[in-house]
Amino acid sequence: MMARKPFWETKSLNQMTVPEWESLCDGCGLCCLVRFEDEDTGEIIPTRVHCQLFDEHRCTCKDYPNRRKTVPDCIKLTPHNIETLEWMPPSCAYRRLHEGKSLPLWHPLITGDPESTHKAGISVRDQTVSELSFSDPEDALDFVATDLMYDKSDVIYDPED
């Protein structure tokens, strides 16, 4: 008997159930970082500053169901808007599947280990500062972090690390 292919290989993003969609998140935290847009070039500038609701150690939202009440400009990822979010990291499962690519080998759905994103060094765990640390939001520009957005899809996952 042949093994069944995983849902992310057989369904389009639009066909996924809410739990399937949510399980695609690898917990890297990169989408929870404060970004700026250069007014002249339109370039998106990522920082090491995280949203006020981001738990920097667990790499999760502290109030995910109600996040948009506290942070009105929080962007809810959906199959309908993923193609317009070019600022998402190249290793993001949502972006990769939208682009017809496979999940990275370190992705928790591949490894079965919810910590694999952190063990592989992909996440921002304990590398960020809260936006609440600044009286002037523009001060976050002192923490520009373009290095965090490099494509890390080919990082080798070693479960022993």
3-state secondary structure of 143: helix
Range of the domain at 61: 7-149
**Residue 20 belongs to a domain:** yes
Weakest mean pLDDT among 8-17, 64-73, 104-113, 147-156:
147-156
Q: How many distinct structural domains can be found in the chain?
A: 1
Instruction: Give the pTM.
Output: 0.89
**Residue 136 belongs to a domain:** yes
**Residue 158 belongs to a domain:** no
**Residue 17 belongs to a domain:** yes
Distance of CA 85 to the CA centre of its chain: 12
Render pLDDT for 107-160 as a digit per residue (tens, 0 to 9): 999 999 999 999 999 999 999 999 999 999 899 999 999 888 888 888 877 777
Q: Is 161 a residue whose pLDDT tops 70?
A: no
Q: Is 13 a residue whose pLDDT tops 80?
A: yes
pLDDT score for 1 = 62
Give the integer Cα–Cα distance in Å for 10 and 90: 21
**Residue 98 belongs to a domain:** yes
* DSSP β-bridge partners for residue 33: 50
**Residue 1 belongs to a domain:** no
Weakest mean pLDDT among 70-74, 99-103, 137-141, 150-154:
150-154
**Residue 160 belongs to a domain:** no
Residues of the chain above pLDDT 70, percent = 98
3-state secondary structure of 159: coil
- In the block, residue with structure tokens 């199959």: 79
Tokens of 147: 């290095």
